[in-house]
Structure 1
Amino acid sequence: MSLNRFNCRLLLLAILVAGPFTVDVIAADHSFLDNGVTAHRGNSSEQPENTIAAMRSGIAVGADWIELDIFRSADGEIVVIHDATTNRVAGKNRTVETSTYETLQKLDVATQFRQQQGQTLETCPPRKIPLLRDVLKLVMSQQKTRVSIQPKSDCVADAMAIIREMNAEKWVGFNDGALSKMAEVKQLDPTIPVFWDRPANSNVMEDIQTAKQHRFETLVLNEQGVTAEKIQLIQAAGLKVGAWTVNDRKQMEQFLAMGIDRIYTDHPRLLLKLIEAK
């Protein structure tokens, strides 16, 4: 019997012994990247945050996850923006939840980025607030990068309805520090990954217990609270551990040396280079 035939028979035997679960795992789509780099609000160091341009850039540089924030507009649309108002990014103050999508679409959310970067309208054209649907459509056009959704208002169910309607489940995860929101995600669909954000001074043992209870996959620690001991404790409990939001090169290198699983950053291109060098 040749070695190849022997190995094939061993694999078949393992599948038959393990039963349907193993068959499902082997048949699953493993084409998504798994490099531990989350592009925070998209590639927000190179493009205006939470815009389609930032999301497209995050995918292009090779982050395995891009992250975004969502609110519900006054007319029920799920829009992608971090703040409750538009003033910081657009220079015009509109409250997202009391504004219609039509009103929000009139704003240029690249205004702050353009000014900070010293760019012109030619080098940084106006950008609009996208819908969650817009980003999902973009992400679903490829098989490498997924999107983690942070609900800034009570809109988990709205987001899940859109995800189901578009059959986008395998492309998405959720992240936030609010236990109620992340628990709601798991109640609506236990298969969707949850990245539970924790503050720097949080009790890591209590967080592990809560995460296991709610079947969360990952604890994401504020960068100021990351220690090698916490990383080891979380990983020993069978959970992944990440840090948010890390933009300093030396800090990235320190966390990678500690064995952290994931880093949220505005500079995904830099982080990917450090991981490759490591």
Structure 2
Amino acid sequence: MKSTFAILFALTLTTLLSAAEPVFLQNGVTAHRGNSGAHPENTMPAFRSGVAVGADWIELDIFQTKDGQLVVTHDKTTQRVGDKNLDVANSTFEELKTVDVATDFRKRHQLSKEECPPQQMPLLKEVLKLIKQQHQTRVSIQPKADCVKAAVSLVKRLNMGPWVGFNDGNLNYMSQVKQLAPTIPVFWDRGADTDLDADIKIAKQRGFEALVLHFKGITPDKVRKIKAADLEPGVWTVNDPALMKQLLTQGIERIYTDEPALLLHLKQHRSD
């Protein structure tokens, strides 16, 4: 009797543990700075929406503030997106919180504050905690400054390894990721005119998972070479539906886009 109970208990425990494992989407759609076509880039609404529309990855950019906080923003200053101009690395997080980073989006789309409420620059840890609440969408972190060690440390502290990847064109930053956390995937961003053969060799040596080229440099031959090296071929950043269709036909497996819902619709239509 004891033996039967022990077996049943072990099977039940295995089932429960298995159910707790994340089962992530695999659709090749990276929501660039969140769903940034519909919401202000790199804001919590953009990230929530990226998850809600069903992208398998959302992408974001990080800097480190004067007081050591990891914040989510793309530029060195807040001038482009905000209502005031602060240098991110030379400002405290409390200072950066005073900037309405939805300002540019609101103006470009001619929206009122009721239609597009003010947004604060989020902390990376806020976004990671949001992403950890679900088991479908992961987040790719792009370090825009030398803060990889701090970012990986935060990921480990929050037990976020399975939910996280990194992307950037900086070889030093991406190599640091693999040195500090070998199991975290790296999407190495490359330009249109990059030496693909050299890139493939480096990517394999460093243990990277993907090469993400600027869309203007994509050819069917390059896609074949990347796949033959057992790497994922991706492109950044594409919002035009005709170009999306062309790239998918050429065998591209991942597209970074501000319009994840549009890309998902096109991919679904292709599979119908």
TM-score, structure 1 as length reference: 0.90
Which of 102, 105, 116 is the equivalent residue of 1:124? 116
* Inter-CA distance 35–96: structure 2 relative to 1 (3 Å threshold): same
**Unaligned 5+ runs, structure 2:** 1-17
Shift of 1:92: 1.2
Q: Match for residue 269 of structure 2?
A: 277
Query: Match of 1:51?
Result: 43
- 1:256 and 2:248 are equivalent in the alignment: yes
Look up the equivalent residue of 1:193 and give its one-letter code: P
State the SS of the aligned residue for 1:71.
strand
> Matches of residues 1-278 of structure 1 in structure 2 within 5 Å?
29=21, 31-278=23-270
Determine the C-alpha separation between the residues in 2 that align with 1:68 and 1:108. Answer: 18
1:67 alignment partner AA: E
For residue 252 of structure 2, what is the amino acid of its counterpart? I
Distance 2:120 2:251 in 1: 38
- Write the distance in 2 (CA, Å) between the matches of 1:170 and 1:28: 12
Q: Distance in 1 between matches of 2:61 and 2:22?
A: 26
Q: Is the 8 A contact 2:78 2:87 kept in 1?
A: yes
**Cα distance in structure 2, aligned partners of 1:77 and 1:140:** 20
What is the CA–CA distance in structure 1 between the aligned matches of 2:84 and 2:221, rounded to whole Å? 45
Structure 1 counterpart of 2:86, one-letter code: R
- Aligned counterparts of 1:37 and 1:239: Cα–Cα separation in 2: 16
CA apart distance, 1:27: 9.6
**1:151 is matched by which residue type in structure 2?**
P
The number of equivalent residue pairs is 253
CA shift digits 1:99-130 (9 cap, x unpaired) = 00000001100000000011000010000000
TM superposition score normalised by structure 2: 0.91
Give distance in 1, aligned partners of 2:118 and 2:22: 37
Match of 1:96, SS state, is coil
The runs of 4+ residues in structure 1 deviating greater than 4 Å are: none
Shift of 1:259: 1.2
SS in 2 for 1:58: helix
